[in-house]
Structure 1
């Protein structure tokens, strides 16, 4: 993330670190003053120090993203300090690709990059995915570049008739890393291996582009997708929580 900010510009991002006795023990960032904070793992005293640093600064802190233990400790300390309420939005699993292992049997069809002519269709599938996950986001030609979907490159899995049946996106290669997001199969086409096929294809494309690490996040509430990615060679690295905060 810091490499991306360096390359593309910080756009008002706030970066901070905790230094004790000359050693950096943790870092955080906020992409803009009105965005939430993302933390690296911190111990109990360090969490209290960060809460003291952030509390009372404007504008209000709307959310926090952190590894599970740190996130839960931060929320507890934040509640004590500010009186704010907190609600768990989502639990995420972070996975990193080990040895890519295509499924057997592999569904018929082929992968192809989504082009300019596919833009409206890509946006429609992103709208469906955002609605499925309850995301409050407007996706159209005017807003596209400002959404989290806009910077990605997309790959289709097409059936033998050339009809797209699944889609996967990948963030640009930055700092040697590519993050796969999103992976989407329309509900009526699920259970046929298309999601696995497009994930394999987009992972291979990332490796071919020179990625040293290929990573993705999953919703831990979806055991099917978590099991799928592990079968394809993705290994669990950590569990993260996202809490929304509201002024008490």
Structure 2
């Protein structure tokens, strides 16, 4: 069958077409599913790129979602020989729209094949932005927790949260934020985030984590950050375990992404009870 790409302007129409395809692997597809829910709710992301990959019979074989300036998120269930066709179709569609792709985020094998097809077509180069692993948790193990407690930040913590957001974006290799962008993000998170928590010890915040990007049954833990002076003291474990326990009161499972080049964080999450689901790649196009 011949694959064709269809661009959608109506999020509700796109949602109806691709959500049943994505939800079959809910934990693995937590990123595109969470993005779809955020876009559909109108809470974030203006002018997203929404594209489906379909067979001639109308069956969905893939989906692309991009929220500029971030990388293009892709989920593809196609044969190896179809990646070149997808790359050609995608290039034609994006060229017509005047859209540049900064990179891809996808399941690892699919990301490698799509990147190879794309760079062969475009004559471009690429680099690995992050070698990732997706984890899933449905219960929290009993672990040793340092003294302290979970708190939700408020206006008193605005400057601190803004600084931590800036440091987090630098350390994780995503697009660095300016001071004003980080401050704006911190203001929004304090005002609108229900699942943003600090671990506080001796009256001082020492680590943070956030729950976001919900799906039908799950929610993603992200923005896990501990400043260097407070690392290796168990604070990250404490905030992630505490937040995960709270999230499991409302959701059946939690998911998170890790950087495979950071064995410490991967061990922390597995000790808490997170189980590997699949590997993912963030690829930057040069």
Deviations 1:173-229 (A, max 9, x none): 454432111112221222221110100111122223x22331111111001111110
| Structure 1 residues 55 and 225: alpha-carbon distance in aligned structure 2, compared to 1, 3 A threshold | same
Query: Is 1:111 the counterpart of 2:150 in the alignment?
Result: yes
Number of the residue aligned with 2:54: 19
Matches within 5 A, 1:127-166: 127-141=166-180, 143-145=182-184, 150=189, 152=193, 153-159=195-201, 161-166=202-207
What is the total number of aligned residue pairs between the two structures?
241
> CA–CA distance in 1 between the matches of 2:142 and 2:154?
25
Structure 1 pair 131–82 and aligned structure 2 pair: CA distance change class (3 A): closer
Once residues 173 and 142 of structure 2 are traced to their aligned partners in structure 1, the CA distance between those partners, rounded to angstroms, is 30
Name the structure 2 match of 1:98. 138
Deviation, 1:70, is 0.5
Matched-pair contact (CA < 8 Å) for 2:136–2:276 = yes
Runs of 4+ with >6 A deviation: none
Q: Does 1:82 align with 2:122?
A: yes
Give the Å deviation of 1:106. 2.0
RMSD (CA atoms): 2.3
Could you tell me which residue of structure 1 aligns to residue 106 of structure 2?
66
CA contact (8 A) 1:92 1:241 kept: yes
Q: State the Cα deviation string for residues 82-140 of structure 1 (Å, max 9, x = none).
A: 1111111111111111221131x321111111112111111112222223334442243
**Which structure 2 residue ranges, 5 or more long, are not aligned?**
1-34
Return the alpha-carbon distance in structure 2 between the equivalents of residues 16 and 187 of structure 1: 41
Aligned to 2:41: 7
Range that drifts further, 164-173 or 223-232: 164-173
Partner residue of 1:41? 76
In structure 2, C-alpha distance between the alignment counterparts of 1:138 and 1:22, rounded to whole Å: 41
2:266 is matched with: 226
Structure 1 residue runs without a partner (length 5+): none
Q: What corresponds to 1:29 in structure 2?
A: 65
Give TM-score scaled by structure 2 length.
Answer: 0.76
Q: Go from structure 1 to structure 2 and tell me whether the alpha carbon gap of 1:55 and 1:142 turns closer, same or farther (over 3 Å shift).
A: closer
